[in-house]
Amino acid sequence: MGSTSSTLLKIPNVEVLMQETGFSPAHIIRLHDRFKALDKKGRGHLCPQDFGAIKELAMNPIGDRIIGAFFSPGKETVDFHTFVKILAHFRPVDKNRPKEPNSPEPINSRSNKLRFAFQLYDQDKDGKISRDELLKVLRAMLGMQVTEEQLESIADRTIQEADLDRDDAISFEEFRKVSPEILHSRCFIKAPVIMLMERDC
């Protein structure tokens, strides 16, 4: 316990961090270790190259976008605080968490999870997934397997399907409407990612 608290003490604002993210001290420590491992040069922050060094990530078709999600616009680095907050999106939704009316929506709420995913599509941050943005994602995920022609038809179709206000783009609301199935079925919420971490501790 002593080591735990001493490690925690090294992290600035750890209390605030835990409160914001809902991570337990053990999580934080674990993430901190990971952070330090990624931060090879020991600068106290990560830059895109550090993420690029994760070799599995290099094989991920949309890995770049995910890396990009860690960096707020214009910033070249991400500190531990932000790092943890981003990862907190992937904590399971805790059902039993007492609802405090005044508290802000937790980071791992459903809509925040979705928002995170939405931002991966919406690269120009205009609040809409345009056809081009969708095409880019599709191209990344499908690679050379399909022709441009097919990509376009998929993209068209996708937008059509979700586009309720006929503006040829998918807004977050629309995105949210077409996604709940996924939420409930298997993908997002059920991610064992942070789950495993919790069990570890």
Is position 152 an interface residue for other proteins (rule: CB under 8 A)? yes
Is position 88 an interface residue for other proteins (rule: CB under 8 A)? no
- Beta strand 78-79 with 128-130 is unpaired
Is position 100 an interface residue for other proteins (rule: CB under 8 A)? no
- Tally of CA atoms within 13 A in the half-sphere of 89 that contains its CB: 17
Helix intervals (H) in the chain: 2-10, 14-21, 25-38, 48-52, 55-58, 63-70, 80-88, 110-121, 131-142, 148-162, 172-178, 180-184, 193-200
Closest CA to 94 of 72, 109, 115: 109
The correct pick among 4, 13, 54, 127 for binding other proteins (CB under 8 A) is 54
Is position 174 an interface residue for other proteins (rule: CB under 8 A)? yes
Instruction: Tell the smallest beta-carbon distance from residue 102 to other proteins (Å).
Output: 28
Structure tokens at 15: 């209390």
Specify the residue, 103 or 153, whose C-beta has the smaller distance to other proteins: 153
> Interface mask (CB under 8 A) for other proteins, residues 13-52, using x and -?
------------------x--x--xx------------x-
Is position 53 an interface residue for other proteins (rule: CB under 8 A)? no
Closest CA to 88 of 63, 70, 102: 70
Q: Please list the residues that pair with 170 across neighbouring strands.
A: 129
Please report, as ranges, the residues that interact with other proteins according to CB under 8 A. 31, 34, 37-38, 51, 54, 56-57, 59-63, 66, 87, 90, 92, 116-117, 120-121, 135, 137-138, 141-150, 152-154, 156-158, 160-162, 164, 168, 174, 177-179, 181-182, 186-197, 199
